[in-house]
Amino acid sequence: MVGLALSFAGSTLAGQEKSKAKEPKEIDAGIKISTQATAREVGLPVYPGATPHRDDKEDSSGANLGFWGGSFGIKLIVLKMETKDAPRKVAAYYQQALAKYGKVLDCSHPPQSKKDDNPKDSNVLSCEDDKPDEGGMLFKAGTKHRQHLVGIRPQGQGTVFQLVYLETRGVEGDERPQ
C-alpha cells in the first residue's frame, strides 16, 4: 500500500495591507492508493464460496483509491471476485444485498429516461450512462454521492463479478451540504 497525506497552509500576499491580512487557512489534502480492498470497505458481503479474481497472475483482485483536499474528495473501492455459480444466481444474491442501501437499479437494460427525470442537484441515484460489460449485468443502490455497484459477467461455466463503492464530495453537480 502506498499512502500520502499533505497539509497546506495558506498565506497572505506580500502586497496586502496588514489590516486586511487574515490568519492562514489550513487545508488538509491527501491521496490513498492500495491494491487491497475488503468486502467490509465496499459495504457488501462476499458471495458464498467466491474467490478473488485476477485477470493476470500479477494483477490484484482489489483496489482502494482516494484523494481529497478541503471540501473535495473521491473514494473508490473495488473488489473483483469469481464463482462457479451462474450469473443469475449471483445477481439475485446481490440484488438482495444491495437493497439495504435503498432502491436497487438494474442498469443492465436501463429504461430510456429524459435528462430531466433526475435534476443535477438531486441526490437520487440513476443509471445515467452506466452500462455493464457486453453480456453482463449491472446493479446500483444508494445515492448519487454514495453508490454501491455490482457488475456481473459470465465466464465459462461460472461468473466474474465486481463489488464497487464510490463516494464523492464537492464534485461538479454536488449540491449537498458539506
Structural domain boundaries of the chain? 36-169
For the beta carbon of residue 52, count every other beta carbon within 10 angstroms.
13
pLDDT of residue 63: 92
Instruction: Using the predicted structure, report yes or no on whether residue 38 has a pLDDT greater than 50.
Output: yes
Instruction: Using the predicted structure, report yes or no on whether residue 16 has a pLDDT greater than 70.
Output: no
pLDDT of residue 14: 41
CA–CA distance, 143 with 145 (Å, rounded to integer): 5
Q: Can you give the pTM of this predicted structure?
A: 0.76
CA distances from 69 to 27, 36, 121, 156, 172 (A): 7, 23, 22, 43, 15
Rounded to 10 degrees, the C-alpha dihedral 92/96/98/101 comes to 160
Q: Which residues are CB-neighbours of 141 under 8 A, at least 6 positions away? A: 98, 99, 100, 101, 102, 103, 104, 105, 125, 147, 148
Confidence class for position 104, pLDDT limits 50, 70, 90: very high
Residue with grid cell 448519487, as numbered in its chain: 144
> Mean pLDDT over residues 25-39, rounded?
87
Instruction: Using the predicted structure, report yes or no on whether residue 166 has a pLDDT greater than 60.
Output: yes
